Amino acid sequence: MLQTNEKLIIITAPSGAGKTSITRYLLHKYPELSFSVSACTRQPRKDEEDGVDYYFISLDDFTEKIQHNDFLEWEMVYEGKYYGTLKSELDRIWNNKQIPVLDIDVKGAIHVQQQFTDNCLSIFIEPPSIEVLKKRLESRGTEGLESLQNRVNKASYEISFKHHFNKIIVNDDLTKACDEAEKIILAFIGKAD
């Protein structure tokens, strides 16, 4: 059961904008924050662990969870690849007296925001340009050519939604972007000095 008076943080961005690095930095530093592990149907990458990075599940399991209304939101983020935030994951984190941090795509972020208005902080991480984003994705080396092109194509569309979010951080320098995100989050969780 969702407890809607609880706080929630959403970090959203096009793939490759740096949101995962920023999210990791914050989670490492603040134990009151906890990563909301999404369910997804893509294959794990080499360094990824089930239950830590994602709950890697089959399409059948994912469909069953949709039918059971287990998701707060879900999206086909890339062709044939489904990702979703489980209500049970947020409850698990709130029950631990922590604040969930959701690293989710732009559409999913908008859906979550619509359900949590007062107690939700949403941060959009913007890449300095599409060219920089493409270079970052290429150097990350996790995507094949087609997946990379899909992600770049989707990025411009996603950037057009940036004003739907509470705060926008342009990530042209990761350290500065982390500092900025940290200040915003400390104010939200009531730890700012």
CB of residue 18 to ligand 5GP, shortest distance in Å: 11
CB contact set of 7 (below 8 Å; sequence gap of 6+): 99, 119, 120, 121, 188, 189
Position 126 contacts ligand 5GP (CB under 6 A):
no
Which of 18, 84, 100, 127 contacts ligand 5GP by CB under 6 A? Answer: 84
In the chain, the largest separation of any two C-alpha atoms, in whole Å, equals 48
The 15-54 site mask, x for binding ligand 5GP (CB under 6 A), equals x----------------------x---x------------
User: Judged by CB, which is closer to ligand 5GP: 49, or 193?
Assistant: 49
Walk across the sheet containing 33-35 and list its strands. Answer: 33-35, 99-103, 8-12, 120-126, 167-170
Q: Name which of 25 and 83 has its Cβ closer to ligand 5GP.
A: 83
Q: Which residue is nearest to ligand 5GP (CB)?
A: 108
Q: Identify residues 106-125 at the interface with ligand 5GP (CB under 6 A).
A: 108
> Residues 139, 95: contact at Cβ < 8 Å?
no
Contact 130, 155 (CB under 8 A): yes
Q: Is 94 in the site for ligand 5GP (CB under 6 A)?
A: no
SS3 158: helix
Report if residue 89 touches ligand 5GP, rule: CB under 6 A. Answer: no
Contact between residue 165 and residue 12 where contact means Cβ atoms under 8 Å apart: yes
Task: Give me the phi and psi of 101, to 5 degrees please.
Answer: -115, 115
- For position 148 contacting ligand 5GP by CB under 6 A, the verdict is no
Nearer to ligand 5GP, 174 or 192 (CB): 174
The answer to whether the CB of 153 falls within 8 A of the CB of 63 is: no
DSSP letter for 45, please. P
Among 9, 33, 99, 104, binds ligand 5GP (CB under 6 A): 104
- Give the residue, chosen from 41, 85, 122, 171, that forms a contact with ligand 5GP under the rule CB under 6 A: 85
Using CB under 6 A as the criterion, which residues of the chain lie in contact with ligand 5GP when the complex forms?
15, 38, 42, 73, 75, 77, 83-85, 103-105, 108
